[in-house]
Amino acid sequence: MYAVVEIYGKQYRADVGSTLSVDRFDAEKGSSVTFDKVLLVSGDSVKVGAPYVAGASVKAIVQDEIKADKVIVFKYKPKKDYRVTQGHRQKYTVIKVEEIVG
């Protein structure tokens, strides 16, 4: 059984027992969170929402907060003495899917 869930504007496939790295949100490590915006639930039969499946939710536990690898952004314009280097590290919250209701 799996579900397609919308978490803070992005869609993820959530299987029971799987871990997901989602964009960072404020939650304590070890706390339980519930996501109600479920777009699709697949099991014995497939339920597709319009836009969301009524009564369906995904329950997960927050495991950790991590940072992705650094991405270097380098801009320059030839012959104009313009060079800009910038770095970025995206922060993620790692959650473990415990239960799919619906």
Bridge partners, residue 62, by sequence: 95
Residue-wise pLDDT for 39-68, tens only, equals 999 988 999 989 999 999 999 999 999 999
pTM (two decimals) = 0.82
Residues of the chain with pLDDT under 70: none
Query: Is 39 in contact with 53 (CB distance < 8 Å)?
Result: yes
Number of domains in the chain: 1
**Which residues form the domain of 15?**
2-101
CA distance 63 to 20: 10
CA distance 10 to 42: 19
